[in-house]
Chain A
Amino acid sequence: MDLQRRFLIMSAAAASLAVPLLSSGVAHAAGDPIRKIILATAAQAADPQEFQAAQLIAQEWRKLGLDVEVRGFPRPQLSDLVWFNRQKWDTTMWRMVGRPERSDPDELVYNLFHSSTAEKGFNFVGYVNKDYDSIAESQRRETNVEKRKEIVGKAQAMVAKDAPYVFLVHPKNTVGYLSTVFKPATVVDQGGIGVRNFWTFVQAEPAGAVKDIIANSTESLNSINPLYISGAPDSWVTELIWDRLMRIGPDGLAKPYAAKDVKWVDPTTLEVTLRPGMMWHDGKPVTPDDVIFSFEATMGDKAPMYKPFASNIASMEKVGADGVRFKLKEPNASFLISTIAKMNLIPKHVWEPVLQGMAGKPQNAESYQEQLPIGSGPFKVARYKLNEEIVLEKNAAHWQAPKFDRWILRVIPNNEAGLGMLRRGELNFLSDYRGDPKLLIDLAAQQKDIQVASTVDMGLRFVGHNLRRKPFDDPAFRQALSVAVNRNLMAQAAWNGFAVPASSMISPALPFWHQGTPPKASLDDAKAILKKAGYEVVGNKLHYPNGVKETLQPE
C-alpha cells in the first residue's frame, strides 16, 4: 500500500519533470512503445483453421505498428493458460460450439460478459462494466419477449462498442445424408444446429426399403446417462432416449413435449400438465412423481453437472392427477429453455434405489451406467459399445413414434472414411463431419443421392482480449483491433467459405435475437481510431498515448 503510493507519487513527479523537458524539443510526445503482443491460438495441427485465422489477424495488426507473435498451443495447454492463468496472456483465439440450449440468449449474454463470471467463470477476458451487468440481469428477469428482445439488443450493442472480443465468424455445420433413405422434405433443419437434430431423427420418413438410420460420430462416447453431461455425441443419444417436459423446436423456441401444456401462473410460478398415457421403456407409466423426482435428483449433490440448471427451483408440488407446479426463487425468462427443456425425465423406480444407495458415499449418479438405460423417449436402447456403436430401437408405444425402426450411431474417427461410407451406404447420415466441407459438396455433385445441408451454426469463433492487461484495457485500442480485421477474407481463406462474418455473440442463425452488422474492415479507420485516442506510430512502432508507461513484459 505504502509502496504503491510512493511509486505513484514518484512516477507523477517524474512525469511532470519529463513532460516539459520533452515538449520543448518535439511538438508532442508519445508514451512508451507497446511491448510485443502474443496472440495465443490452438496449434496448427490441432485446429488449422483457427491457426490460419490467427496468422491473418496478426498480419493486419502488424500494419498498425504492433509487434505481434502468433503462438500455437495444444488445446489443453491453451485452455490451461487462458482459464487458470488469467493474468498471464494478452489475447487469444477462442471458440464456442452451438448447442440447442443456446437458442436462448441468456447463457451468451450473461455468462460471457457479466462481471460475476470474470474471476473464475467464462468471462475469462475480464470484462467488468456495471451498466452491462444491469442489462444482463434485467434481460434475465424480463418475461415479456418483445421487451426482452430490446434489452438483449442493447447488450449486443454495448459489447460491440466496448469490443472485449473481436467477433470473427460463425462457422457453418456441413453434413450429408442419402435421399434414397430419407425423404428430403421430411428432414428438419433446426436453426443454428443443422439437420442433425432430434426432430429429423424422429420425424424423417424412409424413402425406400432401408429402415435403419445409420449415423456417425468422430469421437467415442463417454456414457449414456441422463444425469451426466458428458460430451456432444453423448447428448445426441440421450435426447432420443429420455424425454423432457419441453424440447427446443426447429425455430429455437421451447415447445411442450412430454408436457401437454406449460403455463406461467405468475413470474415465479410455472404449471406443467403431463401428456397422458406416456410409458417408460419398461412398461410402467410416467407420473408427476417421476417428474418431481427427476428435478430433485439434480438438485442434490449427486448430479453436479446438472445442478446449476436447477438452482432456481424453490419447490415443486403435484397439482391434480397429472400436473406439477414449479415455484421459482426469482423470475427467469430463460427458465423454460435452460431448465425445463434441459432436464431429462428419469423413472423414479429405477433411480431412487440407486441414489439412495449412494447417499453418504463419495460416488454420484454420473458414475452409474445402467446396463439397459430406461427412459420414455421415442427411441429405446437395444445395445451399445461406447467405443464402437450404439443401437437404438424405435419405441412404438411413444406418442411420437419414429418412422424408422432403428437408430445406429457408429464411431468413425477417420473423416475421409466417413465420406466413403456415406457413398457406399455403410452410413446413410453423415452426422459428424470435420473434414473439408468442399470434399463433401464435390461428392454430392458426383453422386445425386447424396444431399448436403450446410447451416450457419450457433457456434462462434472470436479473439478474446485480456482486459486486465494494457493496452487491452482501452476500449479504443480494442475497437481499432476489431476494425482492422477482415472477416470476409477470414471466412473465405481460413474457413474455405464455410462460415459467415460475425458481429455479436448471438449468431444470425437466431434471427429473432441477433443484432448488429460486422464492421467494414479498414486499416485507415483503425489507424484513425488509434490516433484519436492518442496512440502514435514512431518509427513504425505503435506507442501508447502520452504519459502511459509499459509495465509488462511479453511472457
Chain B
Amino acid sequence: MRSVAIRFAQMLLVLWAVATILFFLFRLMPGDPTLAYIDTTFTAEQQEELMRQFGLDRSLAEQYLLYFANVIQGEFGTSFRSKRPVFTIIFEVLPNTLALTVLSITIAYIFGVLVGAWLAWRRGSIAEAVGIPLVLTLRAAPEFWLGMVLLAIFAFGLGWLPSGGANSAGMQFSSTFDRLTSPDFLRHLILPAATLALYLQGLPLLLMRSNMLDVLQEDYVMMARMKGLPEWRILLLHAARNALLPVVTAFALGLGASVGGNVVVETVFSWPGLGRVLVDAVASSDYPLAQGAFMFIALILIVMNFVADLLYTVLDPRVSHG
C-alpha cells in the first residue's frame, strides 16, 4: 500500500513538472498570440487590449502563479482564439479521439500479440519469411501515406466508405452515446482506425515475438514439454503469459501517447479529434488551449503508466512488494 502512495506522490510531482515546463515552453516560443490578428485594420491599441485580455501584460512570475493557482483548481481558462473554456473544447472532441484510439490500439495489440506469438512459434517458416518484412513495411510506412492509399482505394476508388469526417453531413443524434454507436459513425471510423491499427501493430507484434523467442528457451517451457502438455497450452499459459509483460507496458503507454498523437490520421481523415485541436492551438499561440490539451494528454499518459505498474503486480507476482 505504501508503494502505491509513493507512486501517487511521484505522479503528482511529474504533473507539476509538466505543467511548469508547458507554461514556459509556450512563452519562450517566438511570436505571441496577437500575431494571429495582424491585419490592415489592426491597431496598436487593439494589440494592447488583447495582451491585457490574455493577461500577458503581467510579469512572467505573476502569470505563472496565477496559472498555477488555476490549474490546482482544475481551471484551465479560456481559449485565446475561440474564447471558449478550454475544457469545453477538449471534451467536445474527446469522444471522437477515444473511440478512434481505443478501437485501433486494441485491435493492433490483440492482433500483434497473437500473430507475434504465432510467428515466434513458427520460427524459420515461410510465414515468418513473409510476415516479418510485411510487418516492418507497414510499421515504416508514413501514416499519411498509408491513410491516403486506403482513402484512394476504399473511398475514392471503390466508394465503399466515406472520405472523411466522423459523420455524414447534417446527421443528428439524440446523445453522444447514440452517435458513437450509430452505423454512420462506425462506417466513418473504419478507415482511420484501420490506418492507425496497421501503423500500431508493428510494435506489439515484434515485441511479443522477440519475448516469446526468449521465453521459449526457458527451462520451465522445457519442463512443460517434458510433462507432455499440449502445445497450445504451453504456448498460451506458460510462454505467452510471461512474454506479455513488456507488451502490457507498451499498451498502456501507447494508449496515452495515441490520444494526442493522432494528428496525422486525424488530418488525413478530417477526424475531429484532440490531436488537431492541439496542433491548431500551438500554431496560433493559443496558450491556454495548448497548455490544457497537453496537460490532459500528460495526465492520461501518467495515469496509464501508473495503471501499467499496477497491472504488472497482477501479471507478475514477483513485482509486488509485500
A residues engaging B (CB < 8 A)? 76-77, 79-80, 83, 96, 107-108, 111-112, 119-122, 212, 214, 219-223, 225, 228, 230-231, 304-305, 308-309, 362, 364, 366-369, 383, 385-389, 391, 406, 408, 410-414, 416-417, 420-421, 423-424, 426-427
Chain B residues positioned under 8 Å from A391 (CB to CB): 170, 172
Which B residues from 261 to 288 make CB contacts under 8 A with A? Answer: 267-270, 272, 276-277, 280, 283, 285
A83, A96, A388, A416: the one within 8 Å of B165 (CB): A388
Chain A residues positioned under 8 Å from B93 (CB to CB): 387-388
Chain A residues positioned under 8 Å from B142 (CB to CB): none
Which B residues from 141 to 166 make CB contacts under 8 A with A? Answer: 148, 151, 155-156, 159, 162-166
Question: Within the assembled complex, what's the spacing in Å between the Cα atoms of A420 and B156?
Answer: 6
Chain B residues positioned under 8 Å from A220 (CB to CB): 272, 276-277, 280
Q: Please, which residue of chain A has its CB at the minimum distance from the CB of B144?
A: A414
Q: How far is the CB of A240 from chain B (nearest CB, A)?
A: 15
Chain A residues positioned under 8 Å from B38 (CB to CB): 79, 83
Chain B residues positioned under 8 Å from A416 (CB to CB): 148, 151
B219 an interface residue at 8 Å Cβ cutoff? no
Interface pairs (27), CB distance under 8 Å: A83-B35, A96-B40, A111-B40, A120-B47, A121-B43, A122-B42, A212-B170, A214-B169, A214-B170, A222-B83, A231-B81, A308-B43, A308-B46, A309-B41, A385-B92, A387-B276, A388-B165, A389-B167, A389-B170, A412-B164, A414-B267, A416-B148, A417-B270, A420-B151, A420-B155, A421-B164, A424-B163
Q: Which of A308, A389, A417, A424 has the most CB of B within 10 A?
A: A417
B128 an interface residue at 8 Å Cβ cutoff? no
Which B residues from 242 to 301 make CB contacts under 8 A with A? Answer: 267-270, 272, 276-277, 280, 283, 285
B residues engaging A (CB < 8 A)? 29-32, 35-44, 46-47, 49-50, 53, 78, 81-84, 89, 92-93, 148, 151, 155-156, 159, 162-170, 172, 267-270, 272, 276-277, 280, 283, 285
Chain A residues positioned under 8 Å from B46 (CB to CB): 304-305, 308
Q: Please, which residue of chain B has its CB at the minimum distance from the CB of A391?
A: B170
Q: How far is the CB of B61 from chain A (nearest CB, A)?
A: 20
Additional pairs, 10, CB under 8 Å, beyond known A212-B169, A387-B92, A420-B156: A120-B43, A220-B280, A222-B82, A225-B83, A304-B50, A388-B165, A389-B170, A406-B170, A426-B162, A426-B165
Q: How far is the CB of B47 from chain A (nearest CB, A)?
A: 8
Chain A residues positioned under 8 Å from B36 (CB to CB): 76
Question: Within the assembled complex, what's the spacing in Å between the Cα atoms of A255 and B148?
Answer: 46
Chain B residues positioned under 8 Å from A410 (CB to CB): 165, 169, 270
Question: Within the assembled complex, what's the spacing in Å between the Cα atoms of A222 and B163?
Answer: 24
10 interchain residue pairs of minimum CB distance: A76-B31, A120-B44, A367-B83, A388-B272, A222-B82, A80-B31, A420-B156, A79-B35, A387-B272, A417-B164
Q: How far is the CB of B200 from chain A (nearest CB, A)?
A: 21
Q: Please, which residue of chain B has its CB at the minimum distance from the CB of A97?
A: B39
Q: Which of B41, B162, B172 has the most CB of A within 10 A?
A: B41
Q: Are B92 and A414 in contact (CB under 8 A)?
A: no
Q: Are B165 and A362 in contact (CB under 8 A)?
A: no
Chain B residues positioned under 8 Å from A108 (CB to CB): 40
Q: How far is the CB of A177 from chain B (nearest CB, A)?
A: 15
Question: Within the assembled complex, what's the spacing in Å between the Cα atoms of A230 and B159?
Answer: 36
Chain A residues positioned under 8 Å from B53 (CB to CB): 304, 362, 364
Q: Which of B44, B166, B170 has the most CB of A within 10 A?
A: B170
Question: Within the assembled complex, what's the spacing in Å between the Cα atoms of A387 and B82?
Answer: 11
Q: Knowing A362-B53, A385-B272, A416-B148 touch, does A228 contact B83 (C-beta < 8 A)?
A: yes
Q: Are A111 and B41 in contact (CB under 8 A)?
A: yes
Q: Are B162 and A369 in contact (CB under 8 A)?
A: no
Q: How far is the CB of A228 from chain B (nearest CB, A)?
A: 7
Chain A residues positioned under 8 Å from B162 (CB to CB): 426
Q: Are A423 and B156 in contact (CB under 8 A)?
A: yes
Query: Inter-chain contact count A-B, CB under 8 Å?
Result: 147
Q: Are A414 and B270 in contact (CB under 8 A)?
A: yes
Chain B residues positioned under 8 Å from A212 (CB to CB): 169-170
Question: Within the assembled complex, what's the spacing in Å between the Cα atoms of A459 and B166?
Answer: 33
Chain B residues positioned under 8 Å from A421 (CB to CB): 163-164
Chain B residues positioned under 8 Å from A427 (CB to CB): 169
Chain A residues positioned under 8 Å from B163 (CB to CB): 417, 420-421, 424, 426
Q: How far is the CB of A236 from chain B (nearest CB, A)?
A: 16
Chain A residues positioned under 8 Å from B168 (CB to CB): 426
Q: How far is the CB of A176 from chain B (nearest CB, A)?
A: 15
Q: Are A414 and B84 in contact (CB under 8 A)?
A: no
Chain A residues positioned under 8 Å from B47 (CB to CB): 120
Chain B residues positioned under 8 Å from A309 (CB to CB): 41
Chain B residues positioned under 8 Å from A308 (CB to CB): 41, 43, 46
Question: Within the assembled complex, what's the spacing in Å between the Cα atoms of A221 and B165?
Answer: 15
Chain A residues positioned under 8 Å from B156 (CB to CB): 420, 423-424
Q: Please, which residue of chain A has its CB at the minimum distance from the CB of B166?
A: A388
Q: How far is the CB of B282 from chain A (nearest CB, A)?
A: 10
Q: Are B269 and A414 in contact (CB under 8 A)?
A: yes
Question: Within the assembled complex, what's the spacing in Å between the Cα atoms of A111 and B37?
Answer: 15
Q: Are A79 and B276 in contact (CB under 8 A)?
A: no
Q: Are B82 and A230 in contact (CB under 8 A)?
A: yes
Chain B residues positioned under 8 Å from A111 (CB to CB): 40-41
Question: Within the assembled complex, what's the spacing in Å between the Cα atoms of A230 and B37?
Answer: 8
Question: Within the assembled complex, what's the spacing in Å between the Cα atoms of A375 and B120?
Answer: 66
Q: Are A412 and B165 in contact (CB under 8 A)?
A: yes
B35, B39, B83, B283: the one within 8 Å of A122 (CB): B39
Question: Within the assembled complex, what's the spacing in Å between the Cα atoms of A77 and B29?
Answer: 9
Q: Please, which residue of chain B has its CB at the minimum distance from the CB of A218?
A: B270
Q: Knowing A112-B40, A387-B92 touch, does A411 contact B84 (C-beta < 8 A)?
A: no
B42, B148, B169: the one within 8 Å of A121 (CB): B42
Q: Are B270 and A424 in contact (CB under 8 A)?
A: no
Q: Are A389 and B267 in contact (CB under 8 A)?
A: no
A79, A228, A362, A386: the one within 8 Å of B31 (CB): A79
Chain B residues positioned under 8 Å from A83 (CB to CB): 35, 38
B43, B78, B164: the one within 8 Å of A367 (CB): B78
Q: Are A411 and B272 in contact (CB under 8 A)?
A: yes
Q: Knowing A76-B35, A76-B285 touch, does A408 contact B269 (C-beta < 8 A)?
A: no
Question: Within the assembled complex, what's the spacing in Å between the Cα atoms of A402 and B311?
Answer: 59
Q: Knowing A80-B30, A387-B277 touch, does A408 contact B41 (C-beta < 8 A)?
A: no
Question: Within the assembled complex, what's the spacing in Å between the Cα atoms of A410 and B41?
Answer: 29
Chain A residues positioned under 8 Å from B78 (CB to CB): 367
Q: How far is the CB of B259 from chain A (nearest CB, A)?
A: 16
Chain A residues positioned under 8 Å from B151 (CB to CB): 416-417, 420
Chain A residues positioned under 8 Å from B270 (CB to CB): 410-414, 417
Chain B residues positioned under 8 Å from A225 (CB to CB): 83
Q: Please, which residue of chain A has its CB at the minimum distance from the CB of B46?
A: A304
Q: Are A389 and B165 in contact (CB under 8 A)?
A: yes
Q: Are B32 and A80 in contact (CB under 8 A)?
A: yes
Chain B residues positioned under 8 Å from A383 (CB to CB): 172
Q: How far is the CB of B43 from chain A (nearest CB, A)?
A: 6
Q: How far is the CB of B93 from chain A (nearest CB, A)?
A: 6
Chain B residues positioned under 8 Å from A80 (CB to CB): 30-32, 35
Question: Within the assembled complex, what's the spacing in Å between the Cα atoms of A552 and B206?
Answer: 59
Q: How far is the CB of A9 from chain B (nearest CB, A)?
A: 37
Q: Please, which residue of chain A has its CB at the minimum distance from the CB of B39?
A: A122
Question: Within the assembled complex, what's the spacing in Å between the Cα atoms of A228 and B80?
Answer: 12
Q: Are B82 and A386 in contact (CB under 8 A)?
A: yes
Question: Within the assembled complex, what's the spacing in Å between the Cα atoms of A121 and B217?
Answer: 74
Question: Within the assembled complex, what's the spacing in Å between the Cα atoms of A411 and B267?
Answer: 10
Q: Which of B39, B40, B93, B155 has the most CB of A within 10 A?
A: B40
Question: Within the assembled complex, what's the spacing in Å between the Cα atoms of A221 and B35?
Answer: 18
Question: Within the assembled complex, what's the spacing in Å between the Cα atoms of A417 and B167?
Answer: 15
Question: Within the assembled complex, what's the spacing in Å between the Cα atoms of A279 and B243?
Answer: 70
Question: Within the assembled complex, what's the spacing in Å between the Cα atoms of A232 and B151?
Answer: 28
